[in-house]
Chains A and B, each alone.
Chain A
Amino acid sequence: MAAMETEAAPLTLESLPTDPLLLILSFLDYRDLINCCYVSRRLSQLSSHDPLWRRHCKKYWLISEEEKTQKNQCWKSLFIDTYSDVGRYIDHYAAIKKAWDDLKKYLEPRCPRMVLSLKEGAREEDLDAVEAQIGCKLPDDYRCSYRIHNGQKLVVPGLLGSMALSNHYRSEDLLDVDTAAGGFQQRQGLKYCLPLTFCIHTGLSQYIAVEAAEGRNKNEVFYQCPDQMARNPAAIDMFIIGATFTDWFTSYVNNVVSGGFPIIRDQIFSRYVHDPECVATTGDITVSVSTSFLPELSSVHPPHYFFTYRIRIEMSKDALPEKACQLDSRYWRITNAKGDVEEVQGPGVVGEFPIISPGRVYEYTSCTTFSTTSGYMEGYYTFHFLYFKDKIFNVAIPRFHMACPTFRVSIARLEMGPDEYEENDSGDMDESDEEDEEERRRRVFDVPIRRRRCSRLF
């Protein structure tokens, strides 16, 4: 801390030459810069030196040179105008705007329909009206995002990704704020929960807790999972997929734009997460796996965790033509978290016997369930060469892990008496008497993160 020194020859901040003084000011945040404006004429003038404001415009509002030229304004005035509009969100704006910009840039060439379905931003008044309607404040980062885009029209494909299996289809739309308000939950088990997404096919929503209640932290984003054994409709378990709206949205966008989710027929097949290390090569054939957890087909009570996996089999384009081969059968070794092993063997894959030749890619989807929160699979395919039908060989399938997201057991269940729920016969709920009362109350099952696992779900 500088003492209040008086120097013999008074060299003050004010009397420094312009260049070093501007350099000092260039290290200041916008608030400190404005504070300097109040001190003296010279500081006021220098604090308003326009190039100083360029950095702040870029950092907080992501304003580009092109935009500035288009708007034909100076940097400081641009900063102030934007602040007057969305200054309340200054701490969130850059992260959320960047996520939207990255997402749209990535989707425009690949899923143009989805980009066209995005609605333009809501106004402050609209958001205030929703808060009045639901009787709760909306999180600032949520508001910030909805100022940029007010969700999407309820169409397919959904911005938050699709999932397709033979008899099951889900596509999650980002709800606009009014529709979301209509779905605001007041009932026991989902108090203060606002839907973020909706799927027309499954009726499934991801929710955000706008207030802390019933064991939920404020701003958590989760999938609901009704406790089927509790005989109490308020008993709703939750798969947590984000600590805040920003966390949820930016992680999703990062997964999309980094190519983590395959785009198939202009839909984002989200939730298929591929661990780049989950690959096995045998000769010229490479097998890679992506997995996905389906909360809508899973439950904690009873413990039933549903995963799909998508397998990609490809042969190097440089392989010799005589390496062409056909898949005859598969062998799987499935292990759950308790160490129980199941072996499965059978002809073909999903009823097919694909032919793999140089440069050819074959992909298919299948599914598995575990009675534990995680498990892994590995195995091999047996092929025969097309031109030497008697020569058979095995192609390894890399071990891939599946684990459900962190979930939280409903408060309703924790508060129930023993006669109010069916006995649950799975071993992974540790109901020993030595268990801490505190632990029992807040039973968050943190699924261990394995470094090499194939599925960072959600």
Chain B
Amino acid sequence: MPSVKAQSSDGEIPEADVEVAKQPVTIKTMVEDLRMDDAGGNDLVPLPNVNAAILKQVIPRCTHHKDDPPPPEDDENKEKRTDCVSVWDQELLKVGQGTLFELILAANYLDMKGLLDVTCKTVANRIKGKTPEELPKTFNIKNDFTEEEEARVRKENQWCGEK
């Protein structure tokens, strides 16, 4: 079975079956443009923006979802739901925020719409229902508003009845 080797940012070389490896559009483009799939399998696909740990999570997901139909085009009129993350993906994504965000970055860089979608939905689910006080704590975000800015934001959004 033809395989492709990817070289992560920290030098490791996880190997993956070429069909699986071609799921990330970035890799697919590289592989096809550089005609790596008909080479001897010794060429490396460099992925300087993705570390090995993340790549090791991305590859099993690609394998698991390799027969999935391509995700539908974003329909402006369709309801955007976050409850349709498959159980397998939910398990994969029971990770800390840091890892989750790294997965998002990887999916973004590798142009993997499916993975990007589920990771973003997962983060969205963690935002839902939290108050403006809980959000900075959960996501470790510093409030960088000045007093005037904060007052302005409050005023602009008082129509919503919160805070």
Contacts and interface: CB of A to CB of B under 8 A. Distances in A.
Interface stretch (A15-23, A362-370, A417-425): A15-23
A31 B160 contact: yes
Contact of A84 (B128, B129, B142, B159): B159
Give the dominant DSSP class at B's interface: helix
A29 B83 CA distance: 13
A20 B137 CA distance: 21
B84 to A, nearest CB: 11
B116 A34 contact: no
Nearest to A27: B124
A344 interface: no
A32 B123 CA distance: 12
A253 to B, nearest CB: 21
B45 to A, nearest CB: 22
Which of A6, A12, A38, A41 has the largest number of chain B CB atoms within 10 A? A38
B160 A40 contact: no
B102 A14 contact: no
A55 B79 CA distance: 8
Interface string B63-97: 00000000000001101111000000000000011
B42 interface: no
Contacts of B128: 28-29, 32
Contact of B145 (A15, A41, A80): A41
Nearest to A6: B140
Query: Is the interface on chain B under 10, 10 to 19, 20 to 34, or 35 or more residues?
Result: 35 or more
Contacts of A17: 105, 108
A39 B141 CA distance: 7
A44 B11 CA distance: 38
Contact of A37 (B76, B96, B129, B157): B157
Query: Is the interface on chain A under 10, 10 to 19, 20 to 34, or 35 or more residues?
Result: 35 or more
Contact of B120 (A20, A32, A41): A20
Given A24-B120, A27-B120, A38-B153, A13 B101 contact: yes
Contacts of B35: none
Given A29-B128, A36-B127, A55 B80 contact: yes
A4 interface: yes
B160 A7 contact: no
Interface in B125-163: 126-132, 135-145, 149-150, 153-154, 156-157, 159-163
28 contacts: A1-B126, A2-B126, A2-B138, A7-B98, A10-B140, A11-B97, A11-B105, A13-B101, A16-B105, A17-B108, A20-B120, A23-B116, A23-B117, A28-B127, A31-B160, A34-B157, A36-B127, A37-B157, A38-B132, A39-B136, A39-B139, A40-B136, A40-B143, A40-B144, A40-B145, A54-B76, A58-B77, A87-B161
